[in-house]
Chains A and B, each alone.
Chain A
Amino acid sequence: MVSTSGLVRGLLRALALAENAALVTLLGALVVLAGGQILLRQLDVALTWVDPLTRLLVLWVGIFGAVAASRENQHIAIDALSRFLPPRLQLAAGAVVGLFASGVCAVLAYEAARFVQFEHEGHTAALGGVPAWILALVLPLGFGLIAIRYAILFGSRVRALAAARADT
Protein backbone atom coordinates (compact mmCIF):
# COMPACT_ATOMS: atom_id res chain seq x y z
CA MET A 1 0.00 0.00 0.00
CA VAL A 2 1.34 3.42 -0.93
CA SER A 3 0.84 6.04 1.75
CA THR A 4 0.05 9.65 0.86
CA SER A 5 3.40 10.88 2.14
CA GLY A 6 5.14 8.16 0.11
CA LEU A 7 3.25 9.32 -2.97
CA VAL A 8 4.21 12.95 -2.33
CA ARG A 9 7.85 11.96 -1.88
CA GLY A 10 7.76 10.02 -5.14
CA LEU A 11 6.21 12.98 -6.95
CA LEU A 12 8.84 15.35 -5.56
CA ARG A 13 11.61 12.99 -6.66
CA ALA A 14 10.14 12.84 -10.16
CA LEU A 15 9.86 16.64 -10.19
CA ALA A 16 13.50 17.01 -9.13
CA LEU A 17 14.55 14.63 -11.91
CA ALA A 18 12.58 16.62 -14.47
CA GLU A 19 14.07 19.90 -13.19
CA ASN A 20 17.59 18.50 -13.39
CA ALA A 21 16.96 17.19 -16.88
CA ALA A 22 15.74 20.64 -17.93
CA LEU A 23 18.76 22.32 -16.34
CA VAL A 24 21.26 20.01 -18.04
CA THR A 25 19.52 20.31 -21.42
CA LEU A 26 19.38 24.11 -21.21
CA LEU A 27 23.04 24.43 -20.25
CA GLY A 28 24.02 21.97 -22.98
CA ALA A 29 22.09 24.04 -25.52
CA LEU A 30 23.73 27.19 -24.23
CA VAL A 31 27.24 25.75 -24.66
CA VAL A 32 26.46 24.54 -28.19
CA LEU A 33 24.85 27.82 -29.18
CA ALA A 34 27.56 30.05 -27.70
CA GLY A 35 30.25 27.94 -29.35
CA GLY A 36 28.37 27.76 -32.64
CA GLN A 37 28.05 31.52 -32.70
CA ILE A 38 31.82 31.97 -32.73
CA LEU A 39 32.10 29.50 -35.57
CA LEU A 40 29.38 31.29 -37.51
CA ARG A 41 31.10 34.61 -37.01
CA GLN A 42 34.29 33.15 -38.45
CA LEU A 43 32.30 31.97 -41.47
CA ASP A 44 30.66 35.39 -41.73
CA VAL A 45 27.20 33.91 -41.30
CA ALA A 46 24.83 36.04 -39.26
CA LEU A 47 21.73 34.44 -37.78
CA THR A 48 19.68 37.06 -36.01
CA TRP A 49 17.91 34.62 -33.69
CA VAL A 50 21.04 33.11 -32.12
CA ASP A 51 21.88 36.07 -29.91
CA PRO A 52 18.43 36.60 -28.32
CA LEU A 53 18.02 32.84 -27.90
CA THR A 54 21.37 32.65 -26.08
CA ARG A 55 20.28 35.39 -23.68
CA LEU A 56 16.94 33.70 -23.12
CA LEU A 57 18.73 30.44 -22.31
CA VAL A 58 20.86 32.26 -19.73
CA LEU A 59 17.66 33.42 -17.98
CA TRP A 60 16.22 29.89 -18.11
CA VAL A 61 19.42 28.29 -16.85
CA GLY A 62 19.43 30.86 -14.05
CA ILE A 63 15.83 30.08 -13.10
CA PHE A 64 16.28 26.30 -13.11
CA GLY A 65 19.57 26.74 -11.24
CA ALA A 66 17.71 28.84 -8.66
CA VAL A 67 15.07 26.09 -8.36
CA ALA A 68 17.83 23.51 -7.77
CA ALA A 69 19.44 25.82 -5.20
CA SER A 70 16.14 26.16 -3.32
CA ARG A 71 15.73 22.38 -3.31
CA GLU A 72 19.06 22.04 -1.53
CA ASN A 73 18.56 25.21 0.54
CA GLN A 74 21.74 26.58 -1.05
CA HIS A 75 20.64 30.09 -1.88
CA ILE A 76 23.01 32.86 -0.88
CA ALA A 77 22.04 33.89 2.64
CA ILE A 78 23.56 35.43 5.76
CA ASP A 79 24.15 32.46 8.03
CA ALA A 80 26.39 34.22 10.55
CA LEU A 81 23.75 34.50 13.19
CA SER A 82 21.75 31.33 12.73
CA ARG A 83 24.95 29.28 12.85
CA PHE A 84 25.43 30.27 16.48
CA LEU A 85 21.84 29.75 17.63
CA PRO A 86 20.98 26.80 19.90
CA PRO A 87 19.50 23.86 17.92
CA ARG A 88 15.88 24.53 18.75
CA LEU A 89 16.08 28.23 17.85
CA GLN A 90 17.83 27.19 14.65
CA LEU A 91 14.77 25.12 13.76
CA ALA A 92 12.51 28.06 14.59
CA ALA A 93 14.64 30.37 12.44
CA GLY A 94 14.44 27.82 9.62
CA ALA A 95 10.66 27.78 9.91
CA VAL A 96 10.45 31.60 9.75
CA VAL A 97 12.83 31.67 6.77
CA GLY A 98 10.87 28.95 4.94
CA LEU A 99 7.55 30.70 5.50
CA PHE A 100 8.94 34.08 4.46
CA ALA A 101 10.70 32.83 1.32
CA SER A 102 7.78 30.71 0.15
CA GLY A 103 5.42 33.65 0.72
CA VAL A 104 7.61 36.05 -1.28
CA CYS A 105 8.05 33.50 -4.08
CA ALA A 106 4.31 32.84 -4.17
CA VAL A 107 3.70 36.59 -4.67
CA LEU A 108 6.38 36.63 -7.39
CA ALA A 109 4.78 33.59 -9.09
CA TYR A 110 1.40 35.33 -9.03
CA GLU A 111 2.83 38.57 -10.45
CA ALA A 112 4.71 36.55 -13.07
CA ALA A 113 1.47 34.84 -14.06
CA ARG A 114 -0.12 38.28 -14.48
CA PHE A 115 2.85 39.31 -16.60
CA VAL A 116 2.28 36.26 -18.82
CA GLN A 117 -1.36 37.29 -19.12
CA PHE A 118 -0.43 40.85 -20.23
CA GLU A 119 1.88 39.41 -22.86
CA HIS A 120 -0.92 37.11 -24.00
CA GLU A 121 -3.41 39.95 -24.28
CA GLY A 122 -0.88 42.20 -25.98
CA HIS A 123 -0.16 39.49 -28.60
CA THR A 124 3.54 40.30 -28.32
CA ALA A 125 5.62 38.19 -30.68
CA ALA A 126 9.15 37.28 -29.66
CA LEU A 127 11.80 35.00 -31.11
CA GLY A 128 11.01 33.57 -34.52
CA GLY A 129 7.32 34.45 -34.18
CA VAL A 130 6.85 32.40 -30.98
CA PRO A 131 4.40 34.37 -28.83
CA ALA A 132 6.21 36.14 -25.99
CA TRP A 133 3.79 34.80 -23.40
CA ILE A 134 4.93 31.22 -24.02
CA LEU A 135 8.56 32.19 -23.45
CA ALA A 136 7.57 34.05 -20.26
CA LEU A 137 5.83 30.98 -18.80
CA VAL A 138 9.14 29.92 -17.26
CA LEU A 139 8.87 32.83 -14.76
CA PRO A 140 5.69 31.79 -12.90
CA LEU A 141 6.79 28.15 -13.18
CA GLY A 142 10.21 28.85 -11.64
CA PHE A 143 8.96 31.06 -8.81
CA GLY A 144 6.16 28.58 -8.12
CA LEU A 145 8.60 25.67 -7.83
CA ILE A 146 10.83 27.69 -5.50
CA ALA A 147 7.80 28.64 -3.37
CA ILE A 148 6.92 24.92 -3.05
CA ARG A 149 10.47 24.07 -1.92
CA TYR A 150 10.50 26.72 0.79
CA ALA A 151 7.02 25.65 1.92
CA ILE A 152 8.45 22.14 2.32
CA LEU A 153 11.37 23.57 4.31
CA PHE A 154 8.88 25.38 6.54
CA GLY A 155 6.88 22.18 7.07
CA SER A 156 9.92 20.07 7.90
CA ARG A 157 11.21 22.62 10.45
CA VAL A 158 7.81 22.90 12.10
CA ARG A 159 7.55 19.11 12.36
CA ALA A 160 11.07 18.89 13.80
CA LEU A 161 10.19 21.58 16.34
CA ALA A 162 7.05 19.69 17.36
CA ALA A 163 9.07 16.48 17.70
CA ALA A 164 11.68 18.28 19.82
CA ARG A 165 8.94 19.63 22.06
CA ALA A 166 7.38 16.17 22.44
CA ASP A 167 10.79 14.82 23.53
CA THR A 168 11.17 17.21 26.46
Chain B
Amino acid sequence: MIAVSLALLVVALLGAPLFAVIAASALTGFASSGIDLSAVVIEFNRLAETPLLVAIPLFTFAGYLLGESGAPQRIVRLTQSFLGWLPGGLALVAIATCALFTAFTGASGVTIIALGALLYPAFQYAGYPERFSLGLITSSGSLGVLFAPSLPLILYGIVAQQLGVGRPVSIEELFVAGLLPGLLMLVMLGAWSVWRNRALRAPLAAFSWTQAFAAVRESAWEIPLPFVVLGGIYGGFFAVSEAAAVTVIYVLVVEVLILREIPVARLPDIMRRSMVLVGAVLAILGMALASTNYLIDAEVPVKLFDAVRSHISSQLTFLLMLNVFLLLLGMILDIFSAIVIMIPLILPMAIGYGVDPLHLGIVFLANMQIGYFTPPVGMNLFIASHRFGKPVLELCRAAIPFFFILLAAVLIITYWPALSLVLVR
Protein backbone atom coordinates (compact mmCIF):
# COMPACT_ATOMS: atom_id res chain seq x y z
CA MET B 1 0.00 0.00 0.00
CA ILE B 2 2.83 2.38 0.88
CA ALA B 3 4.61 1.45 -2.37
CA VAL B 4 1.45 2.31 -4.33
CA SER B 5 1.11 5.66 -2.55
CA LEU B 6 4.74 6.49 -3.29
CA ALA B 7 4.37 5.53 -6.94
CA LEU B 8 1.26 7.74 -7.17
CA LEU B 9 3.13 10.62 -5.58
CA VAL B 10 5.88 10.25 -8.16
CA VAL B 11 3.53 10.28 -11.17
CA ALA B 12 1.69 13.23 -9.61
CA LEU B 13 4.94 15.15 -9.33
CA LEU B 14 5.81 14.24 -12.91
CA GLY B 15 2.66 16.10 -13.93
CA ALA B 16 -0.01 13.42 -14.18
CA PRO B 17 -3.56 14.82 -14.20
CA LEU B 18 -4.63 14.89 -10.55
CA PHE B 19 -8.08 13.43 -11.23
CA ALA B 20 -6.34 10.27 -12.54
CA VAL B 21 -4.04 10.16 -9.49
CA ILE B 22 -7.00 10.47 -7.12
CA ALA B 23 -8.92 7.87 -9.15
CA ALA B 24 -5.98 5.46 -8.98
CA SER B 25 -5.71 5.90 -5.22
CA ALA B 26 -9.47 5.29 -4.82
CA LEU B 27 -9.28 2.22 -7.10
CA THR B 28 -6.39 0.67 -5.15
CA GLY B 29 -8.07 1.55 -1.85
CA PHE B 30 -11.33 -0.11 -2.84
CA ALA B 31 -9.46 -3.10 -4.26
CA SER B 32 -7.50 -3.63 -1.03
CA SER B 33 -10.67 -3.66 1.04
CA GLY B 34 -12.46 -5.99 -1.38
CA ILE B 35 -15.04 -3.47 -2.60
CA ASP B 36 -16.19 -3.70 -6.23
CA LEU B 37 -14.22 -1.21 -8.30
CA SER B 38 -17.29 0.09 -10.06
CA ALA B 39 -17.93 1.89 -6.76
CA VAL B 40 -15.53 4.59 -8.02
CA VAL B 41 -17.73 5.24 -11.05
CA ILE B 42 -20.91 5.09 -8.95
CA GLU B 43 -19.45 7.74 -6.63
CA PHE B 44 -18.41 9.86 -9.62
CA ASN B 45 -21.96 9.60 -10.91
CA ARG B 46 -23.07 11.30 -7.67
CA LEU B 47 -22.00 14.56 -9.31
CA ALA B 48 -25.47 14.37 -10.87
CA GLU B 49 -27.06 14.31 -7.40
CA THR B 50 -25.48 17.51 -6.11
CA PRO B 51 -27.94 20.37 -6.73
CA LEU B 52 -25.50 23.22 -5.98
CA LEU B 53 -23.05 22.10 -8.61
CA VAL B 54 -24.99 23.81 -11.38
CA ALA B 55 -23.59 27.14 -10.11
CA ILE B 56 -20.07 26.14 -11.23
CA PRO B 57 -20.56 25.90 -15.03
CA LEU B 58 -22.94 28.86 -15.08
CA PHE B 59 -20.75 31.30 -13.12
CA THR B 60 -17.64 30.18 -15.02
CA PHE B 61 -19.30 30.71 -18.39
CA ALA B 62 -20.53 34.15 -17.28
CA GLY B 63 -17.02 35.04 -16.10
CA TYR B 64 -15.42 34.04 -19.39
CA LEU B 65 -18.04 36.06 -21.29
CA LEU B 66 -17.28 39.13 -19.18
CA GLY B 67 -13.57 38.63 -19.80
CA GLU B 68 -14.12 38.54 -23.57
CA SER B 69 -16.31 41.64 -23.62
CA GLY B 70 -15.35 45.27 -23.12
CA ALA B 71 -16.30 45.00 -19.43
CA PRO B 72 -12.68 44.98 -18.13
CA GLN B 73 -11.90 48.32 -19.85
CA ARG B 74 -15.11 49.83 -18.53
CA ILE B 75 -14.50 48.66 -14.95
CA VAL B 76 -11.01 50.17 -15.02
CA ARG B 77 -12.32 53.49 -16.39
CA LEU B 78 -15.10 53.54 -13.85
CA THR B 79 -12.90 52.96 -10.81
CA GLN B 80 -10.31 55.34 -12.23
CA SER B 81 -12.83 58.15 -12.41
CA PHE B 82 -13.75 57.64 -8.76
CA LEU B 83 -10.37 56.75 -7.19
CA GLY B 84 -7.94 58.31 -9.66
CA TRP B 85 -7.72 61.65 -7.84
CA LEU B 86 -6.18 60.02 -4.74
CA PRO B 87 -2.38 59.80 -4.46
CA GLY B 88 -1.54 56.22 -5.35
CA GLY B 89 -4.98 56.10 -6.85
CA LEU B 90 -4.07 53.87 -9.77
CA ALA B 91 -2.88 51.16 -7.37
CA LEU B 92 -6.23 51.34 -5.61
CA VAL B 93 -7.97 51.13 -8.98
CA ALA B 94 -6.00 47.98 -9.76
CA ILE B 95 -6.75 46.35 -6.40
CA ALA B 96 -10.47 47.11 -6.52
CA THR B 97 -11.00 46.04 -10.12
CA CYS B 98 -8.96 42.86 -9.77
CA ALA B 99 -10.90 41.81 -6.68
CA LEU B 100 -14.27 42.47 -8.28
CA PHE B 101 -13.29 40.75 -11.49
CA THR B 102 -11.74 37.69 -9.82
CA ALA B 103 -14.82 37.13 -7.68
CA PHE B 104 -16.85 36.80 -10.86
CA THR B 105 -14.37 34.88 -12.99
CA GLY B 106 -13.36 32.34 -10.37
CA ALA B 107 -9.66 33.06 -10.00
CA SER B 108 -8.71 31.12 -13.09
CA GLY B 109 -6.02 33.45 -14.38
CA VAL B 110 -8.60 35.36 -16.42
CA THR B 111 -8.03 38.43 -14.26
CA ILE B 112 -4.37 38.85 -15.19
CA ILE B 113 -5.08 38.20 -18.85
CA ALA B 114 -8.07 40.54 -19.06
CA LEU B 115 -7.02 43.32 -16.66
CA GLY B 116 -3.23 43.06 -16.61
CA ALA B 117 -2.98 44.22 -20.20
CA LEU B 118 -4.93 47.36 -19.33
CA LEU B 119 -3.37 48.12 -15.96
CA TYR B 120 0.31 47.50 -16.67
CA PRO B 121 0.65 50.18 -19.38
CA ALA B 122 -1.35 52.56 -17.17
CA PHE B 123 1.12 51.99 -14.31
CA GLN B 124 4.06 52.66 -16.62
CA TYR B 125 2.42 55.81 -17.95
CA ALA B 126 1.79 57.10 -14.43
CA GLY B 127 5.46 56.56 -13.50
CA TYR B 128 5.11 53.72 -10.99
CA PRO B 129 8.26 51.63 -10.45
CA GLU B 130 8.15 48.63 -12.75
CA ARG B 131 8.74 46.12 -10.00
CA PHE B 132 5.88 47.49 -7.93
CA SER B 133 3.47 47.38 -10.88
CA LEU B 134 4.38 43.81 -11.82
CA GLY B 135 4.16 42.63 -8.22
CA LEU B 136 0.83 44.27 -7.63
CA ILE B 137 -0.78 42.91 -10.80
CA THR B 138 0.59 39.40 -10.21
CA SER B 139 -0.59 39.25 -6.61
CA SER B 140 -3.94 40.91 -7.33
CA GLY B 141 -4.78 38.18 -9.82
CA SER B 142 -6.08 36.03 -6.99
CA LEU B 143 -7.51 38.83 -4.87
CA GLY B 144 -11.23 38.37 -4.53
CA VAL B 145 -11.22 34.62 -3.91
CA LEU B 146 -13.04 35.40 -0.66
CA PHE B 147 -15.79 37.39 -2.36
CA ALA B 148 -19.01 35.90 -3.65
CA PRO B 149 -19.58 34.26 -6.05
CA SER B 150 -16.02 32.94 -6.39
CA LEU B 151 -15.62 29.38 -7.58
CA PRO B 152 -13.33 28.25 -4.70
CA LEU B 153 -15.89 29.46 -2.11
CA ILE B 154 -18.64 27.47 -3.82
CA LEU B 155 -16.41 24.39 -4.13
CA TYR B 156 -15.47 24.53 -0.42
CA GLY B 157 -19.16 24.73 0.48
CA ILE B 158 -20.01 21.73 -1.67
CA VAL B 159 -17.16 19.59 -0.31
CA ALA B 160 -17.96 20.54 3.30
CA GLN B 161 -21.65 19.70 2.79
CA GLN B 162 -20.78 16.31 1.30
CA LEU B 163 -18.73 15.47 4.38
CA GLY B 164 -21.61 16.19 6.72
CA VAL B 165 -19.44 16.73 9.80
CA GLY B 166 -19.93 19.50 12.30
CA ARG B 167 -22.68 22.00 11.74
CA PRO B 168 -23.95 22.26 8.17
CA VAL B 169 -22.29 24.96 6.07
CA SER B 170 -24.38 26.85 3.55
CA ILE B 171 -22.87 28.61 0.55
CA GLU B 172 -24.86 31.74 1.40
CA GLU B 173 -23.20 31.85 4.84
CA LEU B 174 -19.79 31.36 3.25
CA PHE B 175 -20.45 34.30 0.95
CA VAL B 176 -21.14 36.47 4.00
CA ALA B 177 -18.20 35.09 5.99
CA GLY B 178 -15.70 36.00 3.27
CA LEU B 179 -16.73 39.64 3.12
CA LEU B 180 -14.75 41.22 5.99
CA PRO B 181 -11.61 39.05 5.61
CA GLY B 182 -11.59 39.87 1.89
CA LEU B 183 -11.96 43.58 2.63
CA LEU B 184 -9.11 43.36 5.15
CA MET B 185 -6.84 42.09 2.40
CA LEU B 186 -7.87 44.92 0.08
CA VAL B 187 -7.38 47.58 2.75
CA MET B 188 -3.94 46.29 3.76
CA LEU B 189 -2.73 46.05 0.17
CA GLY B 190 -4.22 49.46 -0.61
CA ALA B 191 -2.66 51.15 2.41
CA TRP B 192 0.76 49.75 1.59
CA SER B 193 0.48 50.72 -2.08
CA VAL B 194 -0.42 54.31 -1.24
CA TRP B 195 2.41 54.56 1.31
CA ARG B 196 4.92 52.91 -1.02
CA ASN B 197 4.13 55.40 -3.77
CA ARG B 198 3.77 58.46 -1.57
CA ALA B 199 6.51 60.10 -3.68
CA LEU B 200 4.16 60.00 -6.64
CA ARG B 201 2.33 63.04 -5.35
CA ALA B 202 0.69 63.89 -8.61
CA PRO B 203 -2.70 62.26 -8.77
CA LEU B 204 -3.76 60.72 -12.08
CA ALA B 205 -6.32 63.39 -12.70
CA ALA B 206 -8.50 65.70 -10.69
CA PHE B 207 -11.91 64.32 -9.90
CA SER B 208 -14.35 65.47 -12.49
CA TRP B 209 -18.09 65.08 -12.33
CA THR B 210 -18.42 64.97 -16.10
CA GLN B 211 -15.89 62.14 -16.38
CA ALA B 212 -17.42 60.21 -13.52
CA PHE B 213 -20.85 60.61 -15.06
CA ALA B 214 -19.58 59.47 -18.46
CA ALA B 215 -17.91 56.41 -16.92
CA VAL B 216 -21.06 55.52 -15.02
CA ARG B 217 -23.15 55.86 -18.15
CA GLU B 218 -20.73 53.75 -20.12
CA SER B 219 -20.90 50.95 -17.52
CA ALA B 220 -24.61 51.38 -16.96
CA TRP B 221 -25.26 47.78 -17.97
CA GLU B 222 -22.56 46.18 -15.83
CA ILE B 223 -23.01 48.22 -12.64
CA PRO B 224 -26.28 46.50 -11.67
CA LEU B 225 -24.74 43.02 -12.02
CA PRO B 226 -22.99 42.75 -8.63
CA PHE B 227 -26.02 44.28 -6.96
CA VAL B 228 -28.45 41.90 -8.64
CA VAL B 229 -26.31 38.84 -7.90
CA LEU B 230 -25.01 39.65 -4.44
CA GLY B 231 -28.12 41.54 -3.35
CA GLY B 232 -30.20 38.67 -4.62
CA ILE B 233 -28.21 36.10 -2.66
CA TYR B 234 -27.60 38.09 0.53
CA GLY B 235 -31.17 39.36 0.52
CA GLY B 236 -32.51 35.83 0.23
CA PHE B 237 -34.26 36.46 -3.10
CA PHE B 238 -32.44 33.69 -4.95
CA ALA B 239 -30.57 30.53 -4.12
CA VAL B 240 -26.96 30.42 -5.32
CA SER B 241 -27.80 28.26 -8.33
CA GLU B 242 -30.56 30.66 -9.36
CA ALA B 243 -28.21 33.61 -8.99
CA ALA B 244 -25.80 31.80 -11.32
CA ALA B 245 -28.53 31.34 -13.92
CA VAL B 246 -29.57 35.00 -13.61
CA THR B 247 -25.94 36.11 -14.00
CA VAL B 248 -25.29 34.09 -17.12
CA ILE B 249 -28.52 35.16 -18.82
CA TYR B 250 -27.99 38.79 -17.85
CA VAL B 251 -24.41 38.77 -19.17
CA LEU B 252 -25.45 37.01 -22.39
CA VAL B 253 -28.23 39.50 -23.02
CA VAL B 254 -26.08 42.54 -22.23
CA GLU B 255 -22.83 41.62 -23.97
CA VAL B 256 -24.21 39.70 -26.94
CA LEU B 257 -27.61 41.28 -27.66
CA ILE B 258 -27.50 44.82 -26.28
CA LEU B 259 -23.86 45.93 -26.49
CA ARG B 260 -23.05 43.41 -29.24
CA GLU B 261 -19.42 43.16 -28.16
CA ILE B 262 -19.35 39.38 -28.53
CA PRO B 263 -20.58 38.11 -31.90
CA VAL B 264 -22.82 35.06 -31.66
CA ALA B 265 -20.34 33.17 -33.83
CA ARG B 266 -17.71 33.43 -31.09
CA LEU B 267 -19.96 31.97 -28.40
CA PRO B 268 -19.19 28.28 -29.07
CA ASP B 269 -15.48 28.90 -28.63
CA ILE B 270 -15.99 30.81 -25.36
CA MET B 271 -18.32 28.06 -24.16
CA ARG B 272 -15.73 25.40 -24.93
CA ARG B 273 -12.86 27.24 -23.26
CA SER B 274 -14.83 27.94 -20.10
CA MET B 275 -16.01 24.33 -19.92
CA VAL B 276 -12.43 23.03 -20.16
CA LEU B 277 -11.88 24.61 -16.73
CA VAL B 278 -15.22 23.28 -15.45
CA GLY B 279 -14.45 19.78 -16.74
CA ALA B 280 -11.05 19.84 -15.05
CA VAL B 281 -12.56 20.94 -11.72
CA LEU B 282 -15.50 18.51 -11.84
CA ALA B 283 -13.20 15.60 -12.78
CA ILE B 284 -11.12 16.02 -9.62
CA LEU B 285 -14.26 16.70 -7.55
CA GLY B 286 -15.96 13.53 -8.84
CA MET B 287 -12.93 11.35 -8.17
CA ALA B 288 -12.49 12.96 -4.76
CA LEU B 289 -16.06 11.91 -3.88
CA ALA B 290 -14.90 8.32 -4.38
CA SER B 291 -11.56 8.60 -2.61
CA THR B 292 -13.11 10.49 0.34
CA ASN B 293 -15.67 7.74 0.68
CA TYR B 294 -12.85 5.21 0.93
CA LEU B 295 -10.90 7.38 3.40
CA ILE B 296 -13.93 7.66 5.68
CA ASP B 297 -14.58 3.89 5.46
CA ALA B 298 -10.98 3.26 6.44
CA GLU B 299 -11.40 5.82 9.27
CA VAL B 300 -8.38 7.78 8.04
CA PRO B 301 -9.63 11.19 9.29
CA VAL B 302 -10.21 9.79 12.80
CA LYS B 303 -6.78 8.14 12.92
CA LEU B 304 -5.16 11.29 11.60
CA PHE B 305 -6.92 13.40 14.23
CA ASP B 306 -5.80 11.05 17.01
CA ALA B 307 -2.22 11.17 15.75
CA VAL B 308 -2.21 14.95 15.55
CA ARG B 309 -3.98 15.38 18.90
CA SER B 310 -1.23 13.47 20.68
CA HIS B 311 1.22 16.20 19.56
CA ILE B 312 -0.89 19.33 19.43
CA SER B 313 -3.22 20.19 22.25
CA SER B 314 -4.34 23.76 21.73
CA GLN B 315 -6.48 25.23 18.98
CA LEU B 316 -3.95 28.03 18.56
CA THR B 317 -1.06 25.66 17.82
CA PHE B 318 -3.28 23.68 15.48
CA LEU B 319 -4.13 26.83 13.50
CA LEU B 320 -0.48 27.87 13.37
CA MET B 321 0.56 24.46 12.06
CA LEU B 322 -2.33 24.65 9.59
CA ASN B 323 -1.06 28.01 8.29
CA VAL B 324 2.42 26.63 7.76
CA PHE B 325 1.12 23.45 6.17
CA LEU B 326 -1.22 25.30 3.80
CA LEU B 327 1.52 27.71 2.74
CA LEU B 328 3.68 24.75 1.78
CA LEU B 329 0.74 23.00 0.14
CA GLY B 330 -0.07 26.15 -1.82
CA MET B 331 3.40 26.03 -3.30
CA ILE B 332 2.68 22.79 -5.14
CA LEU B 333 -1.09 22.39 -5.33
CA ASP B 334 -3.68 24.66 -6.94
CA ILE B 335 -6.66 25.86 -4.92
CA PHE B 336 -9.25 23.53 -6.50
CA SER B 337 -7.31 20.29 -5.97
CA ALA B 338 -6.32 21.43 -2.50
CA ILE B 339 -9.97 21.88 -1.55
CA VAL B 340 -11.18 18.51 -2.77
CA ILE B 341 -8.16 16.55 -1.51
CA MET B 342 -7.39 18.24 1.82
CA ILE B 343 -10.74 19.47 3.17
CA PRO B 344 -12.05 15.92 3.85
CA LEU B 345 -8.97 15.36 6.03
CA ILE B 346 -8.64 18.81 7.59
CA LEU B 347 -12.28 19.71 8.29
CA PRO B 348 -12.99 16.87 10.77
CA MET B 349 -9.71 17.69 12.53
CA ALA B 350 -10.51 21.41 12.69
CA ILE B 351 -13.94 20.64 14.15
CA GLY B 352 -12.20 18.45 16.71
CA TYR B 353 -10.19 21.49 17.76
CA GLY B 354 -13.35 23.58 17.94
CA VAL B 355 -12.77 25.63 14.78
CA ASP B 356 -15.97 26.77 13.08
CA PRO B 357 -16.33 25.21 9.60
CA LEU B 358 -17.05 28.63 8.07
CA HIS B 359 -13.93 30.09 9.65
CA LEU B 360 -11.88 27.12 8.48
CA GLY B 361 -13.08 27.66 4.91
CA ILE B 362 -12.07 31.32 4.94
CA VAL B 363 -8.67 30.53 6.50
CA PHE B 364 -8.08 27.74 3.98
CA LEU B 365 -8.95 29.88 0.96
CA ALA B 366 -7.07 32.94 2.21
CA ASN B 367 -4.02 30.76 2.71
CA MET B 368 -4.31 29.07 -0.67
CA GLN B 369 -4.82 32.45 -2.33
CA ILE B 370 -1.21 33.30 -1.50
CA GLY B 371 -0.22 30.05 -3.20
CA TYR B 372 -1.30 31.54 -6.55
CA PHE B 373 1.87 33.60 -6.61
CA THR B 374 4.29 31.65 -4.41
CA PRO B 375 7.19 30.13 -6.30
CA PRO B 376 7.78 27.64 -7.74
CA VAL B 377 4.34 26.78 -9.13
CA GLY B 378 2.11 29.76 -8.39
CA MET B 379 -0.01 29.75 -11.53
CA ASN B 380 -0.29 33.54 -11.70
CA LEU B 381 3.49 33.94 -11.84
CA PHE B 382 3.52 31.95 -15.07
CA ILE B 383 0.46 33.65 -16.52
CA ALA B 384 1.94 37.08 -15.75
CA SER B 385 5.34 36.01 -17.11
CA HIS B 386 3.66 34.93 -20.33
CA ARG B 387 1.45 38.02 -20.51
CA PHE B 388 4.14 40.65 -19.85
CA GLY B 389 7.11 38.83 -21.36
CA LYS B 390 9.12 38.96 -18.12
CA PRO B 391 11.14 36.10 -16.60
CA VAL B 392 9.32 34.20 -13.84
CA LEU B 393 12.17 34.95 -11.43
CA GLU B 394 11.69 38.69 -11.82
CA LEU B 395 8.00 38.33 -11.07
CA CYS B 396 8.79 36.24 -7.98
CA ARG B 397 11.02 39.02 -6.68
CA ALA B 398 8.41 41.65 -7.50
CA ALA B 399 5.75 39.72 -5.58
CA ILE B 400 7.75 39.37 -2.32
CA PRO B 401 6.43 42.47 -0.47
CA PHE B 402 2.87 41.61 -1.48
CA PHE B 403 3.42 38.10 -0.19
CA PHE B 404 4.30 39.40 3.28
CA ILE B 405 1.36 41.79 3.40
CA LEU B 406 -1.12 39.10 2.45
CA LEU B 407 0.57 36.70 4.87
CA ALA B 408 -0.02 39.22 7.66
CA ALA B 409 -3.65 39.44 6.54
CA VAL B 410 -3.94 35.63 6.61
CA LEU B 411 -2.58 35.53 10.17
CA ILE B 412 -5.08 38.15 11.31
CA ILE B 413 -7.90 36.23 9.59
CA THR B 414 -6.75 32.99 11.23
CA TYR B 415 -6.44 34.24 14.81
CA TRP B 416 -9.43 36.55 14.79
CA PRO B 417 -12.36 34.23 13.97
CA ALA B 418 -14.89 36.96 14.72
CA LEU B 419 -13.80 38.75 11.55
CA SER B 420 -15.22 35.87 9.52
CA LEU B 421 -18.13 35.04 11.77
CA VAL B 422 -19.51 38.32 13.07
CA LEU B 423 -21.66 39.05 10.02
CA VAL B 424 -23.02 35.51 9.85
CA ARG B 425 -24.47 35.58 13.33
Chain A interface residues (CB < 8 Å from chain B): 20, 23-24, 27-28, 30-31, 34-35, 37-38, 51-52, 54-56, 58-59, 61-70, 72, 74-84, 93-94, 96-97, 100-101, 104-105, 107-108, 111-112, 114-115, 118, 136, 139, 143, 150
Contact = CB atoms under 8 A, between A and B. Distances in A.
Given A30-B58, A80-B332, A107-B27, A20 B268 contact: yes
Interface stretch (B114-122, B159-167, B241-249, B301-309): B241-249
Given A31-B249, A112-B41, A94 B15 contact: yes
Nearest to B273: A68
A62 B11 contact: no
A66 B15 contact: no
B52 to A, nearest CB: 10
Interface stretch (B124-132, B279-287, B362-370): B279-287
B376 A139 contact: no
Contacts of A80: 13, 331-332, 376-377
Given A69-B276, A75-B280, A76-B18, A55 B48 contact: yes
B268 A76 contact: no
Interface in B318-340: 331-334, 336-337
B252 A31 contact: yes
Contacts, number: 197
A75 B245 contact: no
Interface of B: 11-20, 23-24, 27, 37-38, 40-42, 44-45, 47-51, 53-54, 56-58, 61, 238, 241-242, 244-246, 248-249, 252, 267-268, 271-272, 275-284, 286, 331-334, 336-337, 376-377
A55 B158 CA distance: 14
Given A61-B275, A69-B280, A139 B41 contact: yes
Among A20, A54, A115, max chain B CB count under 10 A is at A115
Nearest to B331: A80
B40 A62 contact: no
Contacts of A68: 272, 275-276, 279
Contacts of B284: 76
B242 to A, nearest CB: 5
B252 A59 contact: no
A78 B42 CA distance: 27
Among B13, B283, B331, max chain A CB count under 10 A is at B283
Contacts of B245: 31, 34-35, 37-38
A111 B41 contact: yes
B16 A76 contact: no
Contacts of A97: 11, 14-17
Given A35-B246, A65-B275, A65-B277, 8 more contacts: A58-B47, A62-B282, A74-B280, A75-B17, A80-B377, A101-B16, A111-B41, A150-B17
Given A96-B11, A101-B16, A23 B271 contact: yes
A81 B15 contact: yes
